Structure 1
Amino acid sequence: MTASVLGPRMPGWGFMLRDAELAELSQALGSPERPMVMVSGEAGVGKSRLTEFALEQYVARGGTGRRCVASSSLADVPFGALVGLIPGHHMASVAAGTQQLSVFAMVLEYVHHVGASSNQPFVVLIDDLQHLDDASCGLLLQLVANAPVQVMATFRSGEPLPEGALPLWSASNVVRIDVSPFDRESTDEIIRRTMGEVTPEVREALWEQSRGNALYLRELIVGSVGSGRIALHGDTWVLAKPLVGSAQLSEYLLQRTRRLPDDAHHLADMLALCQPLPLAVFRADELAALDRLLVSGVAVTTGDSANPDVRLAHPIYTEVLSAQLSPVSARVVLGEVVERMESLRQPGDDLRMTVWQLDMGGTPPVDELVRAARGAMAARDLLLA
């Protein structure tokens, strides 16, 4: 059983049940007619590990290539993402501000040297293409046009791609592969392979919390087993307590929220304390910030498409955002939500709005307290009543 617990850390986790995507990548890599292979998907679905493994397989078949990582911290650094393609003895001159044409010659030297033993294209894997700096975009264009180079790139769905690479990613012969979250059946199969026998309650809880996102599922299993929330009884894993993600997942989601603009972060705080909230609660001047939350995958809409509710995409977002709010800040946010909800109040909102007012240190009218208590009793929450 120990091996099952460690299963999420095993190398195969990132591309488990991705046979179709791997086959498509395998067919595309090495094809001179396919200069660009684009792999898209939401954060955490396994794009990076999938493309890494595809590159490893390509090299094992006699091809050559190199993985490069773009990031927001390197977006303003010329050639920052492609530093791994620059021969070490040229690094000093690049740091001193060498012209792009000279850097191209240096990288071309590296590509020809490494790929000399292969008659297949040299594959440059760019992880997180959306963060690629302009200088690197220009260099990739020159490489694809003038050298036996193929680019394979991952990017996060919903985020804009760099205009500098437009001729590459907008070409008609680009291979596009979308990596989606696992469906319920596949999620259950991954749970079976990594854990062995589990109760239906464990499967249901892991599905509800992860919704098939590979990263979330892995960290939920690791965190919940490590904390005893999923416990082994005999040969079967059972749900002992509500699930919790690992520290790595919490930190990962926290870093994503820290990158949000202030206005979008404020809306996320409102959702963390009071979700779900009706779409109508957000002002017209906040819709762009709300769209940023939705596009980035931090928030989702649920319910009736004509009058949707908005909530955070994952329960752990609620935990990490709430934990970052001081008591004073939380009271301010609660007060703002209560004020906005007054004109939108529905009969079912009595209980939660009264709780919000109490949490912010207010004193709701007696009739509201009575209605809220009755609502709590109807919901069989005697402690709250």
Structure 2
Amino acid sequence: MADRSPLREAAVQALDEASGAVIVGDPGVGKTTLVREMTTGLERAATEQTVVWLRTPAKLIATPWGILEPLIGAEHGPEPGVDEVGRLIERCRRALRDLPGRPLLVIDDLHLVDAVTAVVVAEIAQTQAAQILATCRRQPGPPAAVGTLLRQNLLHQVDVAGLTYDEVEAVLTTALQGPVALETIWKTWEVTGGNPLYLRELVRSLRDAGAMVEVDGAWVWNDRGVVGRRLTDLIQAELATLSPAERDVADLLALAGPTAIELLAGAIEDAALTAMTDRGLVVLEADQHDGVLRARLVHPVHVDVIRATVPPRRRRILYERLQNESADVTHPAALFSTVDWALSCGVTPPVEDLIAAARAAAKLADARLVRRLTEAALAHLEPADPRALDLRMTRAQSDRFAGNFRAAREDLDVVAAHLPAGVEGEQLRWRHARLVANLQQYGADDVDAALTTIEHVELTTPPLWQARQVDRLVRLAWAGDYRRGLGELERFAERKDHPQALRASMLGSLIAGLGQAGRLEESLRLADDALRSWQTDSERYPWLLWEVLGTRFLAALWIGDPEGAMNPPHIDDPMAKVDDAVVQVGHGRYHAARGEWSLATAQFRGALSRFAVRDPSGFGPTASANLSYSLAALGDREGATRARRDYETAQSGASRVVYGDSQMRVAAASVALGEDDAAQRCADLDAWSSHQGLWLWAMHARHLRCVVEAASNRPTRMQVDHLTHAARRVEGPLGPLVVAHAQALAEGDAVLAGRLAGRLAERGVWIPECRVTHLTSRQREIALLVRAGLSNREIAERLTLSVRTVDTHVGNIFERLGVGTRSDLASVLGGFRARPRHRLTVSGSVGLVEPVAVGLRSTY
């Protein structure tokens, strides 16, 4: 579950420094749970404090000072006057004095107590007759008497907010006992607002409804339209406490979406809106684009439940009430909410609103709503109407992203029959050709057909000629064919007369190509310069920014800088789009580079579960290759083999923009598994990489071949020379390190090879062992970090374990492998027998290898 120890520490500190603490937060954020944990801890610690719970059930708070029964008994007099309040305070004091130890009064839902009780509680705190520990909702807040003590700092306030994204991830992973897809974590956090109560009920509801399922070893919320019965009942119970006027506010905002304040004026009562804002159910915020102040419901789950449960007649009445005030259709969410609301009422909105709403839904990747809105609009348009053609292409793209290739083809076939000729129809023809080519390349794995489609579309204006040239080069890159495309991409990028957006569209491909060609420093400079001067409109081109960020991330990993990969020049663009599954692969890559193999495996499984539902860009096989690599590092032979087979059988439609990266990881896994064809895999990767001019992968393939040879014999001079030739073409620190490691293998120097393997691990490069070591997955993970030179304390911090646990694991590892020192362990993990040392001369490589080897010998 989520670690809320900082909140407990803050509350304990408040008790130490003041007369008590008031835990303040919205409903369901865990205030009572926090207090229970604190009081349980006090009882277990056998402290001198005596805990007295003053509870606030309806039958007690209906009677003045009723919650004081645990102190003064159940007999009450009439409504107290001034003298009676004083006597009541004295009765409480006497009762507290009679308790053993220091009394601690615990009050749940302080905001519900009556004014008299609040005065008594405040007096008890002020005179230090007892300490106070209370929970209180943020709205309406504490009673006046207690509020005064908070302002005077006699009581301390501890604020409890909803769970953070990371805390939600931890809760989901624990509750579901397995990895969770990144998109599912994000949606769950967004819908619940981090509210622990909503989170618990949502997960239970989704599992009961079959909407939260395990796919490829990770959990996925596979139907966003399902909220579930349990959570629906909970939300409806909360909404039942609203006044009729407040419920009007909730229902209108749920159905209409974010709505400008001035448009609500005649549809709701001002007092009701103020009350809903005070209760934390509605927020007023200015839009970052048009500056208009709008009201919206705070919790998306309230929106989902209300929209699903408002009866048809009330839905229609509210629609007509808001339409009389002119609905707000300038905000995208409000636009398609209002249009969808109208359709559910049997009202046909203006066709232009339907078209705009369909486009807005497409931007939010809601394929189901896109289809519904498009159908409604097409019913009012002629097939050849340019607006109808545009709508069908919008729906085709939405369907492709959702994995519905057949429906996308059907729409594009209809469009093809009505495309206009001449200059007037160029933009439509160009868009249609690109969509068809996308289906051919990413749906049918036929890049040649895609290139033919792009080449044959009739275009007559120079800007579209340039767009076609860039499109061709980007398609070649995504097909992994850098031999034909990289040089042209460079030449195109050097020209300054092309539109900025057109240059931005090819940057990701160029950064990836340069990096894989070994020009890593140049690749990173290009990426960082682009990000520092980024001006491309992400509303029109929503994916371009993340292409640059993603390829820059990989280039930093490839050059051996995992921490630098996570720290690009700062870019904050809320309109930029990102594929959460691809981001989760990136998280896995970062953890793998740090040797956190268990975390990496969980991230790759989470990404694959999402790719199994929807993979528009073809990165699913990339995740499989990385999963195989991580499982091999953990010693899971069966899992690594299965993931590799998944990779090999899913090549149709796969993106090959980083094909060499995936192949290298599969080859490394094969080496670790001791497979007979491991050497051939390395040779095949070497041949392909050399042909494409991708020297980064040629270097890694040749290095892995040396590792394979070291398991039974030793690398030859020719093999090390061959590796050196490739390494010279790769910028950055890895080239000298892999050559030095191969040279140590060739010399039979197990100690130096082990130390160099540790240096490479620091740079995010895992050297697979070629013999089986009988360690658990956790032991292997720790052993590899030992080889990387980390101390037990550093390993504990990285893997979030106690130092004692790591000490125990290291001792067991030494015993299983029959070693006595960390140096011996590094040698054993090299996977080869030590031989008499002799100096290997590598022709033409002294300047490359010798300084590294000598430097390491003197260091160690």
TM-score for both structures, normalised by structure 1:
0.80
Aligned partner letter, 1:165: V
- Kindly indicate whether the alpha-carbon contact (under 8 Å) linking 1:41 and 1:179 is maintained by their aligned counterparts in 2: yes
- Partner Cα distance (1:238, 1:51) in 2: 33
Distance in structure 2 (CA, Å) of the matches to 1:377 and 1:64: 62
1:135-214 equivalences under 5 Å are 135-146=116-127, 148-195=129-176, 196-214=178-196
Alignment gaps of 5+ in structure 2: 376-860
What's the CA shift for 1:225?
1.7
Q: Render the CA deviation track for 1:142-195: whole Å, top value 9, x for unaligned.
A: 433556301112212242431233443332232221112222222222222322
Which stretch shows the higher mean deviation, 140-149 or 61-70? 140-149
C-alpha deviation, 1:108, in angstroms: 3.6
Asked if 1:64 corresponds to 2:50, the answer is yes
For residues 69 and 282 of structure 1, the distance between their equivalents in structure 2, rounded to whole angstroms, comes to 40
The match for 1:132 among 113, 118, 122 is 113
Cα distance in 1, alignment partners of residues 279 and 36 from structure 2: 23
Q: Deviations over 1:303-358 (max 9, x none)?
A: 6163133222223323443465433222110101122125x554967766555444
User: Is the CA contact (8 Å cut-off) linking 2:339 and 2:357 kept in structure 1?
Assistant: no
Work out whether residues 79 and 133 of structure 1, in 8 Å CA contact, stay in contact via their aligned partners in 2: yes
SS in 1 for 2:54: strand
1:205–1:243: 8 Å Cα contact kept in structure 2?
Answer: no
Aligned residue in 2 for 1:41: 25
Seen in structure 2, the aligned counterparts of structure 1 residues 291 and 185 have a Cα distance that, compared at 3 Å, is same
State percent identity of aligned pairs.
Answer: 22
Q: In 1, Cα distance between the equivalents of 2:156 and 2:331?
A: 52
In structure 1, the residue matched to 2:279 is: 296
Amino acid at match of 1:225: R
Alpha carbons 1:230, 1:243 under 8 Å: kept: no
Instruction: Classify the secondary structure of the residue corresponding to 1:198.
Output: coil
Q: Indicate conservation of the 8 Å contact 1:303/1:309, yes or no.
A: yes
Give the residue type in structure 2 aligned to 1:300: V
What letter matches 1:49 in structure 2?
A: T
Q: Which amino acid aligns with 2:41?
A: Q
CA–CA distance in structure 2, aligned partners of residues 357 and 234 of structure 1: 40
What is the letter of the counterpart of residue 32 of structure 2? S
Match of 2:300 among 298, 315, 321: 315
Instruction: Show the 5 A alignment for 1:1-385.
Output: 13=1, 16-29=2-15, 31=16, 34-61=18-45, 62=47, 63-70=49-56, 75-86=61-72, 90-91=73-74, 93-94=75-76, 99-101=84-86, 103-113=88-98, 115-116=99-100, 118=101, 121-146=102-127, 148-195=129-176, 196-233=178-215, 235-242=217-224, 244-245=226-227, 247-283=229-265, 286-301=269-284, 304=287, 306-322=291-307, 325-341=310-326, 346=330, 353=338, 355-362=340-347, 368-369=350-351, 371-375=352-356, 378=359, 379=362, 381-384=370-373, 385=375
Q: Which amino acid aligns with 1:328?
A: R
Deviations 1:241-262 (A, max 9, x none): 2274554433333233232233
Q: Which letter does structure 2 place at the counterpart of 1:310?
A: A
Q: Separation in 1 of the partners of 2:65 and 2:261?
A: 42
Aligned twin of 2:580: none
Q: State the one-letter code of the partner of 2:40.
A: E
Distance 1:276 1:73, change over 3 A: farther
Counterparts in 2 of 1:329 and 1:73: CA distance versus 1, 3 Å = farther
Structure 1 residue identity aligned to 2:18: R
Whether the 8 Å contact between 2:93 and 2:129 is mirrored in structure 1 is no
Could you tell me which amino acid in structure 1 is paired with residue 37 of structure 2? F
Deviation, structure 1 residue 293:
1.7
The number of residue pairs the alignment matches comes to: 356
Q: 1:353 to 1:218 in 2, by over 3 A?
A: closer
Preserved CA contact (<8 Å) 2:227 2:304: no
CA contact under 8 A between 2:335 and 2:357: conserved in structure 1? no
After superposition, the C-alpha distances for 1:58-113 in whole angstroms (9 at most, x for unaligned) are 23331211222336775542112333333xxx42x326778445544553444334
Distance, in Å, in 1 between the alignment partners of 2:106 and 2:272 is: 32
* Structure 1 unaligned blocks of 5 or more: 1-12
* Change in CA separation of 1:244 and 1:38 when aligned onto 2, cut-off 3 Å: farther
CA distance in 2, matches of 1:83, 1:244: 45
Task: Report deviation, 1:23.
Answer: 1.3
Quote the RMSD (CA, aligned, Å): 3.1
Larger radius of gyration: 2
After alignment, is 69-78 or 249-258 more displaced?
69-78
Query: If each structure's strand is expressed as a fraction of its own residues, which one has the higher value?
Result: 1
Q: 1:267·1:290 contact (CA, 8 Å) conserved in 2?
A: yes
Cα distance between partner residues in 1 of 2:253 and 2:58: 26
Preserved CA contact (<8 Å) 2:126 2:154 = no
**1:159 alignment partner, SS class:** coil
Q: CA contact under 8 A between 1:52 and 1:67: conserved in structure 2?
A: no
Between the aligned partners of 2:338 and 2:307, the Cα distance in structure 1 is: 18
Q: CA deviation at 1:131?
A: 1.4
User: 1:377–1:134: structure 2 CA closer, same or farther, 3 Å change rule?
Assistant: closer
3-state SS of 1:66 partner = strand
Rounded Cα–Cα distance in structure 1 between residues aligned with 2:43 and 2:357: 62
Higher helix share: 2
Residues 262-286 of structure 1 deviation map (CA, whole Å, 9 limit, x = unaligned): 3222111111222122222121883
Change (3 A) 1:76 1:383: closer
SS in 2 for 1:197: coil
CA distance in structure 2 between the partners assigned to 1:283 and 1:172 by the alignment: 40
Counterpart CA distance in 1 for 2:339 and 2:118 is 54
Distance 1:72 1:276, change over 3 A: farther
The letter for the 2-side match of 1:59 is E
Higher relative contact order (CA 8 A, sep 6+): 1
Partner secondary structure for residue 340 of structure 1: coil
